[in-house]
Amino acid sequence: MLLTTRRQVCSLAAALPVSAFASSVQASEANAGAEKSPKAELSVLLYPGFETIDAMGPVEMFGNLRDFSMRFASLEGRVVKSAQGLPVMTEKFEMENASPLLLVPGAAPAFLPKDPRFFEMLKSAAQKADYVLTVCTGSLLVAKTGLLNGKKATSNKKALPMVMKAVPQVDWQKKARWVVDGRFYTSSGISAGMDMALGFIADRFGEAEARRIAGFTEYRRIADPSDDPFAI
């Protein structure tokens, strides 16, 4: 089984602190290390026209955790271009490769997937994941599978009127940088995904780890999920 359990993911929080700039250097040398700690894994589900930083902001933050791996998956398993023209080589999504952490980026309305097969894939991946994280209109995609019904969630504040109308069964939050409801983390627009990722890391791997990564990335983090400078 490739899935690690929630407990295994959390146990990474016990890893030793490493000086910030050295961490990715050490990570590249870590394969030769003595004890193998359980590997946490994030799958990023991509589709044509996804917003670059929705995906890559969290990838930067999670990717600086120790002993962490990343998958980039899509419906078709080919090169997928972001709205900004970034061509990412993806693998075809297969259920046996589903990760315990799932990241769903958003997109401008015109680029949001419409293919029913995309939503079947998304629902299966989200049901299997321990945690589902969405950025921007990524929450609308998960909402359309029905999995957010009755749950608190948020989205890009400019898109929120459209999102609320599309799936009124969700308890949409109008002022939140990100929202946690059980195993669902949903964030506001685009760069809010970086704050949510650090918030998730603080919750699951410890606040010290979130601070280390924010410091390493020289990122002026919003650490309070209710601090939403872009609420309308």
Query: 89 forms bridges with which residues in the sheet?
Result: 79
Counting contacts by CB under 8 A, is residue 179 touching a second copy?
no
CA 193 and chain centroid, separation: 7
Classify 183 in phi/psi space as left (phi over 0), alpha (psi -120 to 50) or beta.
alpha
Contact track, a second copy, 69-108, x by CB under 8 A: xx-x------x--xxxxxxxx------------------x
Residues 115-144 interacting with a second copy (rule: CB under 8 A):
none
Asked if 159 interacts with a second copy (CB under 8 A), we say: yes
Among 11, 52, 97, 124, binds a second copy (CB under 8 A): 52
- Only one of the segments 5-13, 59-67, 166-174, 196-204 lies at the binding site for a second copy (rule: CB under 8 A); that segment is 59-67
Q: Please name which of 45, 62, 61, 77 lies closest in space to residue 141, comparing C-alpha atoms.
A: 45
Q: Which is nearer to a second copy, 147 or 166 (CB)?
A: 166
In this chain, which of 14, 21, 116, 165 binds a second copy, going by CB under 8 A?
A: 21
Helix (H) or strand (E) holding 128: helix 116-128
* Contact pick of 9, 56, 98, 140 for a second copy (by CB under 8 A): 56
For residue 116 the two structure tokens come to: 């029913």
Q: Write the DSSP symbol of residue 68.
A: E
Q: Which of these, 219, 208, 217, lies nearest to 12 by C-alpha position?
A: 208
Task: Rank residues 83 and 147 by Cβ distance to a second copy and give the closer one.
Answer: 83
Sign of the dihedral through C-alpha 65, 226, 82, 164: positive
**Residue in this structure with the two tokens 């016990």, named with its chain if needed:** 14
* Binding interface with a second copy (CB under 8 A): 20-25, 27-29, 49, 51-53, 56-57, 59-60, 62-64, 69-70, 72, 79, 82-89, 108-111, 156-159, 188-192, 194, 215-220, 222, 229-230
